[in-house]
Amino acid sequence: MHVGEPIEPSTSLTFLSSGTSKGATEEPFLSKSSKLVELPEPETTPISLEKQELLSAHGTDVMEKKGKMSILETEIEIVPSQPIEEGTSKQAAVEPMSVTVLPSGKDEIEIGPTGSQLLLEVSTYSNRSIERTSLEIFEYMNDVTARRIGFHGSDEIGRTSVLKALISNPKIKDLFDVVIWVTVSRNWSTRKVQDEVLRQLPLSPEDFNTDFEIAGKLLQVLRSQRFLLILDDVWEPIDLNAAGIPDPALKKGCKMIFSTRFQNVCHVMGADREVQMEGLLPEEAWKLFQKLVGEIIDSPNIQNFARAIVQKCHGLPLLIIVTGRALAKENDALAWMHASKEFSLCSTHGIYGYEALIQKLKLSYDRLEGPDMKSCFLYCALFPEDQEISIDELVDYWIQEGLVARNRPDSHKRGSDIVDFLLGASLLQSVQVGLSIKMHNLIRDLASRILSLEVEGHQFLCGSYSKK
């Protein structure tokens, strides 16, 4: 999809009015009976149970300031911005932006530039895990018995980043005649896989009428080459024979690496070797969270809650980054206690794995300010998975749908500021040197899950996408 081409969302959406009611709930939002609600402001009177619990836990006085439990006299003003987009050079990266929402009653988003030092430090901690795993996979490149390498782990750990790091190794080019990369995704088809392989050989799909003809041509071409086939984001077993891809086990010098979030896919596709993507080490995770949150994390009234949250992130970089940015300006110890409790609810209610990850990511959505910000975020999930969306076109859609008031003289600026805020929160990713955005698969799953919930008699509608 080119930036200049028109993009249409794949389905329509009904959004809530701004008068959404509020109420607290202890049930995870993934429960079928749960309602999507915003937690009320925590009780801050001197006799509240939560405050007693907080004071008991820390054994220290907590300041009262303007009805809030403030740890510092001034709030942190800089929200860390999005990481540099993978595959782009540091020189080409657009200067990141940070966003500060003004106090209630100020209908404006202030934007100011941030330095690049924080981005480099964030990337350093994430890259350590990526480098460890890519080196483990590379060791199998010279192993003649390892022809099919299965690589599994959570989407948000960085499987794609590991594979990009692997093929950037200059030694890879010496081992293979051609490296073919296919992003399979959830809504795949044999023809889509074939078309992507043809494009990289290069051959034109228009030269063939049927999948069978394409399969024959691919077999003919690939049998004469030492190829490395990378299948990224595989959701279910793929019949390589039907696609026309020779079995690497029968062709000397050929290998296939496929990444998946499901370990059983590795088994069914006959992996000779399996590599599990590991998250950050505990100390790496804590240092990354510290960089994102800032000095506020060192407060004795906050640090214990922060450490509990990081522990519940289980070394997953995306969850650490999104959560850190959501809490970066928060100096209210009660808010930190609420966040820590929310992260603990999953195990309390017997929710683990992928479902628990989505539940924890929801903290970043809950902390978005205003119904327009939340509605604009959810709208992005209506585009197909991995779709790159022009920022200008996206803002136009928001205005046309009434998510950003069209009668405002600065409606387009307001929409652009919302994009910058969502980028700064790592809920959107910048691509095309800042001209377009896309949504990480897990963030999109979060938004799709929220869209499917009934709220006050309304139903968010999110259609499924065809494989064809």
Over residues 395-419, the pLDDT tens digits come to: 999 999 999 988 878 899 999 999 9
pLDDT digits 0-9 by tens, 190-222: 888 998 899 898 788 777 878 888 999 999 889
Mean pLDDT of 10-25: 40
pLDDT attached to residue 422: 95
Q: Which of 215-229, 335-349, 447-461 is predicted least confidently?
A: 447-461
pLDDT attached to residue 286: 94
pLDDT digits 0-9 by tens, 132-149: 888 889 988 888 889 999
Distances (CA, A) of 127 to 132, 165, 398: 8, 9, 35
pLDDT digits 0-9 by tens, 267-281: 888 899 998 887 888
CB 257 within 8 A of CB 137: yes
Say yes or no to pLDDT of 251 above 70.
Answer: yes
d(CA 4, CA 18): 33
pLDDT digits 0-9 by tens, 28-57: 444 333 333 333 333 433 434 454 444 444
pLDDT attached to residue 317: 86
Say yes or no to pLDDT of 112 above 90.
Answer: no
d(CA 291, CA 283): 12
pLDDT attached to residue 186: 82
Say yes or no to pLDDT of 343 above 50.
Answer: yes
Amino acid type, 344: S
Amino acid type, 273: R
pTM above 0.85, yes or no: no
